[in-house]
A and B are shown apart, each in its own frame.
Chain A
Amino acid sequence: AQSVAQPEDQVNVAEGNPLTVKCTYSVSGNPYLFWYVQYPNRGLQFLLKYITGDNLVKGSYGFEAEFNKSQTSFHLKKPSALVSDSALYFCAVRDEGNYGQNFVFGPGTRLSVLP
């Protein structure tokens, strides 16, 4: 079975500092990995994905994530945080071999960027 863990409920970072939101996963086959962001009273917005290829993937709004197969991790990063990055972040995984539907989402990490 697939699973996703986001070990931190809350991450606080000062504006201008680098940020990291952690994600680890478990799948039986090759993972497809995703990050989403949710602002208050809004749906989830796709940020970036890893399917295959370069382990460092770049996405929207200056975010990037690094796929680490040995550590089964896919941490989200940004070199310089903005107050507007404050939101709820979700990591998700699906199994390459699981054609169709099954995204599994992590519980979410609330990011607060302090001015």
Chain B
Amino acid sequence: ETGVTQTPRHLVMGMTNKKSLKCEQHLGHNAMYWYKQSAKKPLELMFVYNFKEQTENNSVPSRFSPECPNSSHLFLHLHTLQPEDSALYLCASSQEGGRDYEQYFGPGTRLTVT
């Protein structure tokens, strides 16, 4: 285990539903990330929170809404998704400003939009 947990592991939702993905890191890190991994496409960075402040939003549609209430928790709120949003959503964390620059990933949430 990497110290980053994600729930749920699998989620099936209709296009009119509202759901949330949860990520928790137990590593004492100060930065957290959401990535989208689709089949046959490179890993896409969606959002970055550094010291709880959102510092990056890579042109992600507004139907994805992140929330970072503290440095250990990160949420991704989903509403009115499209079938092309079906993917593996990965959360990661890192310690910025230290000497361990690598990101640690959770196991992901497999999202299917019907």
Residues of A within 8 A of B (CB): 32, 34, 36, 41-46, 49, 51, 90, 94, 99-103, 105-108
Contacts and interface: CB of A to CB of B under 8 A. Distances in A.
B43 A90 contact: yes
Contacts of A108: 42-43
B42 to A, nearest CB: 5
A100 to B, nearest CB: 6
Interface in B3-22: 4, 6
Nearest to A35: B102
Per DSSP, chain A at the interface is loop
Contacts of B110: 41
A9 B93 CA distance: 27
A25 to B, nearest CB: 14
Contacts of A36: 105
Interface in B74-114: 90, 92, 96-97, 99, 101-108, 110
